[in-house]
A and B are shown apart, each in its own frame.
Chain A
Amino acid sequence: MFVEGFPVSGRRLKLRINEGGAKLLEVKDLNAGYDFLQVLWDVSLHVSEGEFVALIGPNGAGKTTTLRTIAGLLSPMSGEILFKGKPITHLPAHKVSRIGISYISESLNLFPKMTVRENLLLGAYAVRDRKRISESLDFVFDLFPRLAERSSQLAGTLSGGERKMLAIARGMMSNPELLLVDEPSLGLAPKLAQRVFDALQELRRRGVTILLVEQNVNITLEITDRAYVLEQGRIVLEGKSSELSQNEHVKHVYLGI
């Protein structure tokens, strides 16, 4: 199942450095689903510290289910999830968030009748230190100056692009070590989608580890270090993103080449 080496670009040097990191997240033989409908079948993956990893696959493959299970919103049927080597398999969502995993869902789950600022402050709900909260606010306003302009506007009145930025910013407020991002480009015009991807790359440069689920395979494989391909609830391919983009199956099914 491994994709063996293909000639790749200069990106590789950077990858080597990242590969040295310890495993931050490890998912082992995960089976999960809803009631009696099993969606994930023995899914195993890992994300090392500082890595930018993608999970790609067609609609209904189980990408969102994987993220929801890691985030604790869904309890797995079997398998194991380790974060920094400690099991978090059946931890409820609010505890998963408190140990440093931020999940940014497809539907964003913002608080529409609260201001941008209130949404961000709630992102730091578990943080008690006021100084750290104001530092995080400065950080996300620096990352998304647009949100600073709109800070007293209700989240429900923001545009689609601004809502994505707010969701990412809210996820960053707790200063997480791992960011799980679900389909950030969904419903955005290509230009806005590009800005969201730029923001993710910027976060990664600042040392955040990211597991990204995306339909836009082209850009995803360009910006990530490694990727997993999930089809019908199983991991069918994994490897360096640059190598996967040369893979015949990926080229044929996802890149349309």
Chain B
Amino acid sequence: MERTLTGPSMRSAIWAKIGQNLVASIVIGGSVAAGIALAVLAGPAQLINSIVTGGMWALMSVGLALVFGVMNIPHFAHGESFMVGAYVAYFVFTPLHKYLKTNPNAFLSTMAPFIAILAATLVGFVLGVIIEKLIFYPLRRRTRAQWVMNTFLITVGISFIMTNGATLVLGPNFRGIPRYWDVDPIKFLGVRIAFDRIVAFAIAIVTIAAFWFFLHSTQTGRAIRAVAQDEDGAQMVGIDLNFIHSLTFGLATAMAALAGASLLFMFQAYPTVGLKPLYFAWYVVMLVGLGNIGGAIIGGFIVALLQTATQQFIGIAWEDVIPTIVMILVLLLAPSGIFGSEVKGVHEQ
């Protein structure tokens, strides 16, 4: 079975490998350098800031990588899951908060934000399952031809409908909260960090760790990875594709909604709130390699570092430009991203 590559094909294969490793080293080295520069020149505040944002980008990107890896869907409505999460958290938290003003209750005040975030996550999961069952499942049954292109267009359509639907029903106003917890900022390394940010970061890290454990140490998690690697093989061992697809889409949507809810104090809730997180999540997954879940976690932090370094050293208006330039350069030199793509189907279809 082993094929020995000879001549030009071998040389080009070796060059591709070297190119990818080189680009990966440059990008990772560059981000670490940017992080050190930030810490030295701008103080640890900015570094800590970018780590907190990185956790959220990672959470968004993992969902995107998951949906692309398992279902081959380039999910352009992922930002709207973020938006739904933000709205649900707002509409659950605000009445609770109002009620607590007249009836003070220390325990409930601590728990209210968690209730709002949990509600948003659950709604996200249910919404994801409904979208999968209502749209992607019938399409999959009908035809797998041109799957990536079709689903790309569908998700863009879902995105339009959901943003405009939200504008129609809720109006274009910003709805937000100044903060979840009435707690003083916490001092860390001489920097004052808002309590909400710390909790948001903790939520991101705990969720990603739990999800990683789920994927690698439970039969259902392994089944999700199995479907990403070989669909026929998965069916042959008794895995129900429909169940795994719904579960995957539900989980990805839930993670985006969780991110939207945890960051409500920062982003607020409005119909197009999901666009920016969506773009950054796409930077991340394209940078690291489509469908690569482990890479998406690291990539989230890389993009956040690049972004903060750009804001600090070049100017806030450039924060979208620099990550895009880096992404284009990476794709030119290493087309499957710095950690390589783990996707089976795209090249076949």
- CB closest residue in chain A, given B229: A111
Q: Which residues of B contact A159 (CB under 8 A)?
A: 1-2
Tell me if A63 counts as interface (CB < 8 A to partner B): no
- CB closest residue in chain A, given B223: A125
Tell me if B97 counts as interface (CB < 8 A to partner A): no
B233, B238, B239, B241: which contacts A110 (Cβ < 8 A)? B233
A72, A111, A126, A174: which contacts B233 (Cβ < 8 A)? A111
- Given contacts A122-B219, A160-B2, are A105 and B236 in contact (CB under 8 A)? yes
B229, B230, B235, B342: which contacts A94 (Cβ < 8 A)? B235
A97 with B237: CB separation less than 8 A: yes
Q: Which residues of B contact A73 (CB under 8 A)?
A: 232, 235-236
Q: Which residues of B contact A93 (CB under 8 A)?
A: 232, 235-236
Tell me if B226 counts as interface (CB < 8 A to partner A): yes
- CB closest residue in chain A, given B240: A94
Tell me if B17 counts as interface (CB < 8 A to partner A): no
Least CB distance from B310 to A in Å reads: 34
Q: What range describes how many residues of B lie at the interface?
A: 20 to 34
Tell me if A113 counts as interface (CB < 8 A to partner B): yes
Scan A160-192; emit 1 where CB is below 8 A from any B CB, else 0. 100100000011011000000000000100000
B230 with A109: CB separation less than 8 A: yes
Tell me if A118 counts as interface (CB < 8 A to partner B): yes
- Given contacts A110-B230, A113-B342, A125-B223, are A94 and B1 in contact (CB under 8 A)? no
Tell me if B140 counts as interface (CB < 8 A to partner A): no
Least CB distance from B3 to A in Å reads: 11
Scan A103-119; emit 1 where CB is below 8 A from any B CB, else 0. 10100111111100010
- Given contacts A122-B237, A160-B2, are A111 and B225 in contact (CB under 8 A)? yes
B1, B230, B234, B238: which contacts A160 (Cβ < 8 A)? B1
Q: Which residues of A contact B226 (CB under 8 A)?
A: 111, 114, 122
A174 with B232: CB separation less than 8 A: no
Q: Which residues of B contact A125 (CB under 8 A)?
A: 219, 223, 237-239
A113 with B229: CB separation less than 8 A: yes
Considering the complex, which residues of chain B in the window 296-349 have a beta carbon less than 8 Å from any beta carbon of chain A?
342
B222 with A122: CB separation less than 8 A: yes
Tell me if A76 counts as interface (CB < 8 A to partner B): no
- Given contacts A73-B232, A111-B233, A113-B229, are A121 and B222 in contact (CB under 8 A)? yes
Q: Which residues of B contact A85 (CB under 8 A)?
A: none
A109 with B1: CB separation less than 8 A: no
Q: Among B2, B225, B235, which residue has the most Cβ atoms of chain A within 10 A?
A: B235
A110 to B222, CA, bound (A): 13
Q: Which residues of A contact B232 (CB under 8 A)?
A: 73, 93, 105, 109
Scan B211-248; emit 1 where CB is below 8 A from any A CB, else 0. 00000000100110110011011111111110000000
Q: Which residues of A contact B2 (CB under 8 A)?
A: 159-160
Tell me if A92 counts as interface (CB < 8 A to partner B): yes
B238 with A94: CB separation less than 8 A: yes
Tell me if A62 counts as interface (CB < 8 A to partner B): no
Tell me if A204 counts as interface (CB < 8 A to partner B): no
Tell me if A71 counts as interface (CB < 8 A to partner B): yes
Scan A83-102; emit 1 where CB is below 8 A from any B CB, else 0. 00000000011110110001
Tell me if A123 counts as interface (CB < 8 A to partner B): yes
Least CB distance from A120 to B in Å reads: 10
B230 with A97: CB separation less than 8 A: no
B222, B233, B238, B239: which contacts A118 (Cβ < 8 A)? B222
B229 with A112: CB separation less than 8 A: yes
- CB closest residue in chain A, given B235: A93
B235 with A122: CB separation less than 8 A: no
Q: Which residues of A contact B237 (CB under 8 A)?
A: 97, 122-123, 125-126, 170, 173-174
- CB closest residue in chain B, given A173: B237
A97, A114, A173: which contacts B235 (Cβ < 8 A)? A97
- CB closest residue in chain B, given A110: B233
A125 to B227, CA, bound (A): 13
- Please give me the 4 A-B residue pairs with the lowest Cβ-Cβ distance, nearest first: A109-B233, A160-B1, A93-B235, A97-B238
Return 24 A-B CB contacts under 8 Å, by A number. A71-B236, A73-B232, A94-B235, A94-B240, A97-B235, A97-B237, A103-B236, A109-B232, A109-B233, A110-B230, A111-B225, A111-B230, A111-B234, A113-B229, A114-B225, A114-B229, A121-B219, A122-B222, A122-B239, A159-B1, A160-B1, A173-B237, A174-B237, A187-B1
